[in-house]
Amino acid sequence: MLKKLLKYELKATARTFLSLYIILFAFAIINRLLSPLSNLGLYVPQILSMIVYVAILVGMFVITFAVMIQRFYNNLLSAEGYLMFTIPVQPWKHIVSKLMVSMMWAAASWLTAIISIFIISSDRNISSDFINEMNNFFGEFFSIFGVSSILYFLEGMLIAITIMASGVLIIYASIAIGHLFSRHRILASVGAFICLITVTQILFVIIGITFGNVFTTNRFFNPVAAFHFVTWFGIIFFGALALGYFMITNYILSNHLNLE
């Protein structure tokens, strides 16, 4: 059933995001084609095209954030929730499906933005130089760290995933907490978000101070060991936060769902 929920969520959001990505790439290409006109003193077409491109770029991230909230709230906590919860599916599967799709589109939006910026800012010579520099960088990186390079890559992927998951789930938890109130639910959700963020920051500071002295020991004097320690600390910390936010959301949807 989780697979079906994922398919449904993807189908419901794909048209919006794919359309945005196509439009963004189109204006990136237009900007790239218009750039030679500046050499002829014709700046207005490129300026107008760039303004539209930036507006679409900013709008893409705003829409990504808005859709993440809208899909969770409308599907599970509004009138549509009556239909969704008549399906014989545990609430945690609804949460996981929306989490995975939200993370996928967030990552896709960042990747699309980076590629579009590269399209605008690059020409044949710059592209060739960039590729050569990247090849040199990765070649030197692998020559220094060898097989451990794969571990660095995996650690980077893990911490990025846990940070993204905790960022999405704290919003879900805030919305779920706000929905416990019979009135002013949006205001309550904002208040819940502020409280959760504050508690998270306090925990981070306390744990950071507690383990801060670790770096003064000889064991972690090695920068490589210190890097691994900090990375895994982040993975565990943000992973624990994500789990906590997930449990809060799942508990409320399972035991205190109020669709009135």
Averaged pLDDT for residues 102-131 = 80
- Its sign, for the CA torsion 3, 74, 201, 111, is positive
pLDDT at 260: 63
Q: Cα separations (Å) of 88 from 5, 85, 101, 205?
A: 12, 7, 21, 42
H helix runs in 122-147, sequence order: 124-145
Question: Please, are residues 203 and 170 in contact by the beta-carbon 8 Å criterion?
Answer: no
- Is 93:7 a contact under the CB 8 Å cutoff? no
Identify which of 61-70, 146-155, 249-258 has the greatest average pLDDT.
61-70
In this prediction, residue 161 carries a pLDDT of 95
State both tokens at 260: 């009135």
pTM comes to 0.84
- 88-102, 134-148, 157-171, range with greatest mean pLDDT: 157-171
What 3-state class would DSSP assign to 92? Answer: helix
Of 51-55, 115-119, 123-127, 135-139, the least confident = 123-127
| pLDDT of 213 higher than 70 | no
pLDDT of 135 higher than 80: no
Note the pLDDT of residue 244: 95
In this prediction, residues 207-233 reach a mean pLDDT of 69
CA gap 155, 151 in Å, rounded: 6
The pair of structure tokens assigned to 192 is 């819940």
pLDDT of residue 106 exceeding 70, the answer is yes
pLDDT of 75 strictly over 90: no
CA angle 191, 189, 158 (to 5 degrees): 95
